[in-house]
Chain A
Amino acid sequence: MKLTFSIRGVGALLVAAALLFAPLILAEQNYLLRVLITGITYAIAVYGLNIILGFTGQLSLAHGGFFGIGVYTMGLLTTDYDWSFWGALLAAIVLTTVVGFLAGLLALRTREAYFAVFTMALGLIIYMIISRWEDVTHAYSGVLGVKLPENIGPLDFSEPATYYYLLLVFLAAAAYVTYTLRVSNVGRRLLAIRTSEDLASSIGINVGLNKQLAFTASAGFAGLGGALFASAEGFIGPNSSSIDLTFELLMFLLVGGVATVMGPIVGTLLVLALFEAFQDFQAYRFILLGPVIIALVIYAPQGLIGRLNELTLRWKRRRAAAPKTPAGPPDSDSPADPNDEKAEVR
C-alpha cells in the first residue's frame, strides 16, 4: 500500500518538475515563458474558484470580477500611487478578501442557480465599475507601467525566469492549500456541504459560516492571481475583469478536474496549450471548442484529473479487493478482521 501511495505522488512530482525546469527548457523562448507565466497567474485564480465550486459546490460567476479587483489594485497602486509591488500585492489580497467576504454575506443567502446568477450580476457590476470609473481606473485607457517586484538581494525579477519562479512559489502555495483542504477536516466539512447541506448541518457543520469562509478565501486567491497577472503583463485593461474571463477560468477548472489538487494547473495549461494550437483559427475556435466543452460536461464532468483518479481507484480496487465478495451484512457481534489492510483512510 505504501507503494501505491508513492506512485500517486509521482504524477504530481512530474508536473512539478516540468514546471520547475520549464525556464531551462524554454531558454530563449520568451514567448512560451510568457504564456506559461500568464497561465500560472490564471491557475492561481482557478485554485480560488476550485475552493468555492469544488469544495462547496456553488458556482460563482464573479471570479473574473475578483480577479479584476486584484489586477486593478496592483495596477493602480504601483502606478498612480507609487506603492511597492509587495505592498500592492498585500493590499490586493486584503481588498479582494474583504470584497469577497462582503459579497458572500449577500450572495450566500441565495443557493444554486440563484447564487450563480447573483454572482454573475456581481461580476458584471465589478466590470462596469472598472470599465467606467474613468477618474480612478482610467477605464478603457488602461493602466501603463505596472511594476514588477522589487529586487530582493540578488533576485532580479525583471528577469522573466526569476519572476516565473516567484509565481511558482505562489502556485505551489495555492496547490498546497488545496491539498490540505482535500485531506483535512476543514475540507471534509466543505465537501460534506457540497454533497448535502441538510446532512452537513445534521452532523453539526455550520453550513453558512463554512460557505462564507470558503467564498472569502476563494475570492482572495482570485485576487492574488489577478495582482500577479497585472505585474506580469505590465499593462492592464478592463478586459481582465470581464465575464468572459470567468468562463475561461471555469473551463480551465472543468477540464482539469473540479475539487482535485492538480486539476487547476493541469487544466489551465492544457487549455492554454490548446488555444495556442488553435491560434490560426482563433475566430472560429469555438466551433470546435464549444462542443468539446459540452462533451466534457456530459461525458467527463469530473475533469481530466478527476477521471484519472477514478480509473486508478477502480484499478486499485480490482487488484486489492478482488477476493472480497459483498457478503451479507456482518454479524454485529463479530469484530471486523483485524488483519484487514491497515486502514489509511486517505
Chain B
Amino acid sequence: MTLFVQQFFNGLSLGGVYCLAAIGLTLVFGVLRIPNLAHGALYMVGAYLTYFFLTSAGVPYILAIALAALVLAGIGIGMERVVFHPLRNAPHTHHMIAAAGAMFFLHSLIQAIWGADFRRMESPITGRVEILGTQVSWQRVTIVITAVVVLIALTWFIKRTVHGQSIEAVEQDRVGASLVGINPNRVSMLTFGLAAALVAVAAGLVAPINLLYPTMGDVIMVKVFAIIILGGLGSIPGAIVGGFTLGMAEVMATTYVSAVAGEVIAFVVLILVLAIRPTGLLTKAVQR
C-alpha cells in the first residue's frame, strides 16, 4: 500500500511535467497545424537556461524558472519567425524536416556552450514530507503544485484575456478568426512564445530530480507526442488528461510489470489509440 501511494505521487509529478510540456506542443499544433519536432530541444534549452540563472547568475529558484521561461519564449518566437513563418503555406512535411533541423542545431549549440557533460542542478527545495504514511520529496510536491497553478493560470489566460481568446479563436476557425480581425501572425508568435514558456517551466521543475544533458529532450519529446496524439492534437484538455494518464501509466507499469514495460507503454498506447481512432481520443470527428 505504501508502495502504491508513493508511486501515485511519482506518477502525479511525472504527469504534471508531461502536461506542461504537452500543452505547448498541442497549442502549436492547434494554431499552426505544425507538429513541432523541436519541442523536446526547447525543453532541453529551458532546463539549461534555468540552470544558468540558478547556478551562474545566482537567481532564486522560482525566479530562475520564470526568467528561463521568458528567455525561452523569446527563442520560441524567434523560431516561429525564422523557421515556421516562411513555411506557413508549405506542406506539413517541410515543417517537420525544418523542425528536425532546428532540433539538431539546438543540440549542437547547447553542447558547444555547456559541453556534453551531465549537469546536476541542485534545487533549494529539499527534504521530504509525509503524506498518507509515505515519504514524498518536497520537490515533487512543488512540481505538482506548480503544474496545477500554471494550468489554472493558463486556462484563465485563454478564456479570459484578449490574447488568449484570439489563440482559441484561431485554433477553432482560422478563416473566421481572420475575418473578425485577428492577426494570425501575432497569434502564431504568441502561441510559440507561450508554448516555449510552458515547456521551460516543465524543464525547470524536473531538472533537480533529473540530469541536464544536450539530448535530454529527445526522450520526453516522444512521450509528449504520444500524449497529444492520445488527447487529440490541438486539444488542451486532452493534453492535460493525456499527460497525467501517461505519467501514471508509466509509473504503474514500471512498478507492477517491469522497467521495460514502463518505457514502452507510451508507444503501445499511442499505436493502439491511433489504430482505433486515427485522429486521437478527444478530437471531434473532423467533417470533410
Contacts and interface: CB of A to CB of B under 8 A. Distances in A.
Interface of A: 53, 57, 59, 61, 106, 109-114, 116-118, 120-122, 124-125, 128, 132, 247, 250-251, 254, 283-287, 289-294, 297-298, 301
A118 B96 CA distance: 13
B101 A294 contact: yes
B277 to A, nearest CB: 9
A107 to B, nearest CB: 8
B104 A121 contact: no
Contact of A114 (B229, B260, B263): B229
Contact of A285 (B86, B98, B108, B274): B108
A250 B95 CA distance: 13
Pick from B82, B93, B105, B260 the residue with the most CB of A within 10 Å: B93
Interface residues of B, number: 46
Given A286-B107, A294-B83, A297-B97, A122 B271 contact: yes
B111 A121 contact: no
Contacts of B268: 125
A117 B225 contact: yes
Contacts of A59: 92-93, 96
B33 interface: yes
Q: List 7 A-B pairs, minimum CB-CB distance, nearest first.
A: A290-B105, A293-B101, A286-B104, A286-B108, A110-B278, A59-B93, A294-B101
A283 B279 contact: no
Given A128-B264, A287-B109, A290-B105, A298 B98 contact: yes
B9 interface: no
A287 B278 contact: no
A289 B116 contact: no
Residues of A contacting B: mostly: helix
Given A114-B279, A116-B35, A287-B112, A121 B271 contact: yes
Given A118-B274, A125-B264, A286-B107, A291 B93 contact: no
Nearest to B93: A59
Residues of B contacting A: mostly: helix
Pick from B90, B96, B106, B263 the residue with the most CB of A within 10 Å: B96
B248 to A, nearest CB: 20
Contact of B104 (A112, A254, A289): A289
Contact of A113 (B29, B101, B264, B275): B29
B91 interface: yes
Contacts of B86: 298
Contacts of A118: 229, 270-271, 274
B149 interface: no
A124 B270 CA distance: 11
B226 interface: yes
Pick from B86, B226, B267 the residue with the most CB of A within 10 Å: B267
Contacts of A250: 97, 100
B192 to A, nearest CB: 15
11 contacts: A59-B96, A61-B96, A109-B274, A120-B222, A122-B271, A128-B267, A286-B105, A286-B107, A287-B105, A287-B108, A294-B83
